[in-house]
Amino acid sequence: MYKKEIEILKKKNRFRQRKIYENLIDFASNDYLGMASNQEVLEKTYNMIKGDEYGAKASLLVNGYNAYHQMLEEYLCEINNYPAGIVVGSGFLANMSIFEALARKGDLIVLDEEYHASGRVGVSLSQAEVRYFKHNDLEDLIYKLQDSIHFNRVFVGVEGIYSMNGDLVKEEILQYLAVKKKVITVIDEAHSVGVVGDNLMGVVDLYKIPTVNTIKIGTLGKALGSYGAYILANKEIISFLENRAKGIIYTTALSNFDTMYAYFALKNIKENLSEYKKEIKKRQQLLGIDSLIWIKEYKDDILLKNEELQKKGFLVGAIRPPTVKSPIFRITARISENVDKLEELKRLIDG
């Protein structure tokens, strides 16, 4: 039924398939702090829920919500200075839920042109007018907002760190939006939590952005090594999402194990903050970057080069169109106790 389309993808060198990678030094994943293999976090999680149910069993609004979810939500609000929050199944669901539920006909949504696909899918489900501004371009954003007074609500979506660029949202953009009373700023911190900020809580933490009139999306599955996501905002917005967001209402709640793993991962970051920040700084200085994502354009056969790197023992991200405009190697300068030492990173970039 789809054979011809698959053949076209292969001819265009855009064919994808799942693979199991073994015995390679991982510079491809988003496990920025090596938290996915942190034995201390694992043991604390296991001891916390031992003898209890590991799964959530149902949606948040049936009987899937429990004390574990509440504990994580309250801690996230505390360390991020937000009045309310909700834990959801994934970052993709979080983005879809926000734009699908909150934005209506007569509203305006303006997204950075490099905003994640989940946000683009979310706005496509909304009846609001949608515009895109040039990546990290304050002047173009101002231009796209010039008639915003004529809309009921205005949403602007940016990422803390852009996953396929590795650059931070410009501080001037968030500071400009912070004083626009009519604008609700949606900040996707999926790749910035655990990487930047005084407390490694992302760009809101880094730039000291007031949390009023902002919605923060964070993931539990990248720097926290677990699975799922969270939304932080004012109580009114969280309550409305709880009542109207299909991606929250009609999905099974996050498992108890994933919830508590994220909770103890956050505690681990707090307890080892100075050490993590020191290791992050080393990698940023080595690569000349502000995040833990290093992007290298590659014009030749990127899949062939990727195979060569795997033979040398390295696993990196070989990203092709349509995900990006032109092929790139996406290397995450991640931290790990056992592998991915700084010397290995140096060997990779030198090769």
Residue ranges for the chain with pLDDT beneath 50: none
pLDDT in the model for residue 339: 52
pLDDT tens string 104-144: 999 999 999 999 999 999 999 999 999 999 999 999 999 99
Phi, psi of 155 (to 5 degrees): -120, 135
Nearest-angstrom CA–CA distance, 9 and 138: 37
Distance CA 103, CA 100 (A): 6
pLDDT at residue number 4: 86
CATH class of 3-32+292-350: alpha beta
pLDDT of residue 351: 65
Phi, psi of 282, rounded to the nearest 5 degrees = -60, -45
d(CA 234, CA 227): 24
Q: How far apart (Å, rounded) are the C-alpha atoms in residues 202 and 194?
A: 7
- Region 41-269: CATH code: 3.40.640.10
Strands (E), 182-282: 183-188, 214-219, 229-233
What pLDDT shows up at residue 75? 98
Q: Is 175 exposed, middle or buried (0-12, 13-18, 19+ CB in 10 A)?
A: middle
- Domain edges within the chain: 3-32+292-350, 41-269
- Is residue 110 left, alpha or beta, with left meaning phi > 0 and alpha meaning psi from -120 to 50? beta
